[in-house]
Amino acid sequence: MNKPLLENSPAGQESAKVGVAATLRGAAKALIGLNLGARLAASSAEVRGHRTRLLAGFIASRLLLVVAVAGIVWFGVNYATMSDALLVTIILIVGMFGLMAIGVSVSVAIGLPAALSLVIVMQDGDQGVYTAAQKMFDGIDNFSLLCIPLFVLAGVIMNQGGIAARLIDLAKAITGQVPGTLMHTNVLANMMFGAISGSSLACASAVGSVLGPTQEKDGYDMKVAAAVNVASAPSDALIPPSNTIIIYAMVSNASMGALFLAGYVPGILWGLTCMALVAVFCFRNKRLKGKPHPPIREGLRIFWRAVPSLLLVIIVIAGILTGQFTPTEGSGVAVAYALILSFIYGTIKPRDLGRILLNATRTSSVVLFLIGLSTIMSFAMTYAGLPRLIAEWVIDVTGGSKVGFLMLMMVILLIIGIPLDATPAVLIFTPIFLPIAMAEPFNIHPVHFGIFLVFNMGIAVITPPSAPVLFVGARVVGLKVEQVIRPLMPYFLALIGCLILVQFVPELTMWLPQAFGMVDDWAALQAATPPLGIGSWVIVIAAIAACFAGATAMILRDRKKAMSEFGPLEARVGTTP
């Protein structure tokens, strides 16, 4: 789209000059105000020991101001000649990261620059605002989205209904005397509870708060224990039912049942990877052994207490796969089942329902608000022609290489997922990258693409600096985030290796949907796609091996450090759980 008002009429050019002048005057006033604020802060902070920090902050603020003013001047001078795509890109990137940097919520940081870009590109304030409002409404006016608040409500009911404790008891009975039994229990409980609650934050909070005091009492290194909890909590994004998978299915029009089935193997692989690293860290560590496996009678009692909770997932997934009900109807079944079960357990009273509904409404409102505002950004990018330019750039960079494309997608999605929540990331970038992935020469199935997209988002939520799951996992055991980051790094590296494995071995993702006959086009797509060459496989295997070797080396280093700090491993035998 052209900008005739700016380029073809003297009045438009004069208006642009006036706008640039006003922008520069505003920037100058901001500079004077920030200078004054910096001087006042420096004069009021004459505290001994803080002068170096103040000087560094003063220099950094000056450099930031210089860069900001230079950017404003450049933007004002070049505005009239910019293409719509470049203009929208600048507004979205600068606006989003600038707003998040000053503490604005992610949803507003997404929606406000997107609406502003529509106003500017359409050159009509009323039309831009109306379009933004319409797209926001259209984004949530979808019957399929009704299952999100219902699954959230089911998760809140199960979380408040004492389900986590029953699943943790079952996980303890399974792990037995394995060294590091409580950390293995943590991973298993996160996998099971995540399949019920559908929330990584709920997993990290519920399981961490229950196991944390026991782990500390038994002599566990709480930094490592918190890292295990944080690393294993996002496995729920892959093990259905998953809100992220539901949103991807809505955007991509892929089969939700096929996506649910496809998530099981990568989700279990995620958990097994965490457990393998725990086993390496706790190898021959006698002080971290748990109780023996319970007697058969007690084991059956523990299993029987946990079975009703696990049946929720079986009923919902089986009903969806067999066509007994749709995903939305399945979410309603989940709510009814969880509510009846909690009343039977006696853990929820009728007077608790108001508080439960309020908590579920708060969580659902955040998700749906993000969906609506992300739709505005997606439309703004499409209106400006960004998807076409990005597709051309990806083809040029990768040269049509499938290995290059998948590696590039992994890096881009990880970077995108760090500042953005999984919901807006999936909504905004699926329409951009999925058509590229499905086209020649890559021929990637939408179900496979969706699973490694969700896998990427799962890793992103534990990656600093945003990392909401990391913050929750550290807080529930009373630690600072900085204390958990270092022991988390081996798990992060190993999960990157798992991600590469899932990306390049699609059979891990596709064999379950194919076995149930839900991806009939998969075999034809595989036949039409040439296999990777030996050189490509060497690169892939080397990358996976490097990730796992690095993770193992870091775990062994942490184990050696723990031994040097605590002395002989047998010297601090704690109370068994």
More confident call, 66 vs 127: 127
Would you say residue 122 has pLDDT above 80? yes
pLDDT of 177 above 90 = no
CB-based contacts of 339, cutoff 8 Å, min separation 6:
157, 348
* pLDDT higher than 60, residue 104: yes
pLDDT at 230 over 70: yes
- What percentage of the chain reaches a pLDDT higher than 90? 11
Q: Which residue has the higher pLDDT, 199 or 132?
A: 132
**Residue 386 and residue 375 in contact, taking contact as beta carbons nearer than 8 Å:** no
- Average pLDDT over the chain, rounded to whole? 78
Lowest mean pLDDT, pick from 105-119, 237-251, 260-274, 287-301: 287-301
Instruction: Reduce the DSSP state of residue 559 to 3 states and report it.
Output: helix
- Sequence-distant contacts of 339-347: CB under 8 A, at least 24 apart: 339/157, 341/158, 341/161, 341/308, 341/309, 341/312, 342/157, 342/158, 342/160, 342/161, 342/162, 345/161, 345/162, 347/160, 347/161, 347/162
Question: Amino acid identity, residue 293?
Answer: H
What separation, in Å, do the N-terminal and C-terminal C-alpha atoms of the chain show?
A: 67
What six digits make up the tokens of 31? 């500079």
Instruction: Indicate if the alpha-carbon torsion angle 239, 244, 247, 253 is positive or negative.
Output: negative
Tell me which of 30-44, 113-127, 375-389 is least confident. Answer: 30-44
**What pLDDT is stored for residue 418 in this prediction?**
80
Mean pLDDT of 246-273: 90
Query: Which phi and psi angles does 373 have, rounded to 5°?
Result: -70, -35
Q: CA-to-CA distance for 371 and 472, rounded, in angstroms?
A: 23
- Would you place residue 277 in the very low, low, confident or very high pLDDT band (cuts 50, 70, 90)? very high
How many whole angstroms separate alpha carbon 314 and alpha carbon 333?
A: 12
CA–CA separation, 267 vs 261, rounded Å?
Answer: 10
Predicted confidence (pLDDT) per residue in 480-537, tens digit: 888 898 899 999 999 999 999 999 998 899 989 988 888 877 777 777 777 778 888 8
pLDDT at 6 over 60: no
- Indicate the angle between helix axes 422-438 and 446-460, nearest 10 degrees: 150
Over residues 425-432, the mean pLDDT reads: 87
The proportion of the chain whose per-residue pLDDT surpasses 70, expressed as a percent, equals: 80
Going by the DSSP 8-state scheme, the letter that residue 292 receives in this structure is P
* Lookup: tokens for 479: 């630690």
Burial class (CB in 10 A: 0-12, 13-18, 19+), 80: middle
In the 8-state DSSP scheme, what is residue 346? T
pLDDT tens across 326-352, in order? 888 888 888 888 888 888 878 788 888
Cis-peptide, bond into residue 465, ω within 30° of zero: yes
For residues 26-32, give the mean pLDDT.
Answer: 44
pTM of the model: 0.78
Nearest to residue 249, comparing CAs of 386, 143, 107? 143
Question: Among 5-19, 192-206, 537-551, which range has the highest average pLDDT?
Answer: 537-551
**pLDDT higher than threshold 50 for residue 572:** no
Length of the chain: 577
Residue 297: count other Cβ atoms within 10 Å of its Cβ: 7
Residue-level pLDDT at 453 = 92
Using DSSP, state whether 268 is helix, strand or coil.
helix
